[in-house]
């Protein structure tokens, strides 16, 4: 009986050494010098790892965001700071597995822009923290892909960038899913414990 218990226990320890467990992962993107456009999604620093497949989004945000918001030559009006959107997204919004997500916030409240064509307005103070959103059930997607994104809600019609970020960091934290082997081992450990308690 002791030999059986040792064999199962040894199997559990051996298998645990070769499996992945859930872990918290944080990714940061430096968006300094990244431009954004009117109603066109821009991706920054796309990341992908199969080990992140279906990972649970725990939190996301941005900090220290500043931007030069342009009044482009040829536009009737200036782009405004409050039209900037910054966030995180699935890399492939049109993928076949139905795991696309897209989440943005406005970094600046300012409802004005530059004073004249060919100039810019410098917006500052962009901060956002989603807090713990793990209870919402949003996942990273089956492909394990994610990117920082930005765009402007208004298109000035020039085809030129609406502005450029002069500083800032976008970040996301997610929790990976244990591998199937890891889940099986957890179940096996439970069986072993139950068998041991019956024999005691």
How far is Cα 178 from Cα 184, in angstroms, rounded to an integer? 10
β partners of residue 108? none
How far is Cα 122 from Cα 115, in angstroms, rounded to an integer? 11
**CATH 2.60.120-classified regions of the chain:** 22-177
How far is Cα 103 from Cα 7, in angstroms, rounded to an integer? 49
Question: What pLDDT band is residue 94 in, cutting at 50, 70 and 90?
Answer: low
Half-sphere exposure of 168 (CA within 13 A, CB side): 29
Give the closest residue to 53 by CA, choosing from 130, 136, 142: 142
How far is Cα 59 from Cα 53, in angstroms, rounded to an integer? 17
* Mean pLDDT rounded to a whole number for the chain: 81
SS3 69: strand
The pLDDT tens digits for 1-35 are 433 233 333 333 433 444 568 899 999 999 999 99
SS3 71: coil
How far is Cα 11 from Cα 173, in angstroms, rounded to an integer? 33
Give the Å distances, CA to CA, from 65 to 31, 81, 120.
8, 12, 16
22-177 CATH fold: Jelly Rolls (2.60.120)
How far is Cα 42 from Cα 35, in angstroms, rounded to an integer? 8
Instruction: Write the CB contacts of 181 (distance below 8 Å, at least 6 apart in sequence).
Output: 15, 18, 19
Question: What pLDDT band is residue 139 in, cutting at 50, 70 and 90?
Answer: confident
Residue 143 sits at φ, ψ, to 5 deg, of: -85, -10
Q: What is the pTM of this model?
A: 0.77
The pLDDT tens digits for 33-59 are 999 999 888 889 889 998 998 899 999
Q: Quote the DSSP letter at residue 166.
A: E
Residue found under tokens 């809600």: 153
How far is Cα 173 from Cα 96, in angstroms, rounded to an integer? 25
């Amino acid at each position: 009986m002791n030999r059986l218990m040792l064999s199962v226990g040894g199997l559990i320890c051996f298998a645990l050494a070769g499996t992945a467990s859930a872990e918290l992962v944080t990714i940061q993107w430096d968006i300094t010098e990244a431009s954004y456009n009117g109603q066109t999604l821009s991706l920054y620093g796309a990341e992908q790892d199969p080990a992140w497949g279906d990972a649970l989004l725990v939190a996301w945000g941005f900090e220290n965001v500043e931007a030069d918001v342009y009044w482009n030559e040829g536009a009737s009006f200036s782009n405004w700071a409050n039209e900037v959107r910054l966030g995180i997204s699935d890399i492939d919004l049109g993928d076949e597995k139905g795991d696309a997500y897209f989440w943005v916030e406005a970094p600046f409240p300012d409802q004005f822009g530059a004073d004249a064509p060919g100039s810019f307005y410098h917006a500052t103070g962009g901060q956002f923290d989603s807090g713990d959103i793990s209870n919402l059930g949003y996942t990273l997607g089956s492909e394990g892909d994610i990117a920082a994104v930005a765009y402007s809600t208004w298109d000035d019609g020039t085809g030129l960038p609406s502005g450029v970020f002069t500083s800032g960091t976008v970040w996301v934290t997610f929790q990976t899913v244990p591998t199937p082997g890891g889940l099986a081992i957890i179940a096996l450990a439970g069986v072993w414990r139950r068998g041991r308690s019956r024999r005691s």
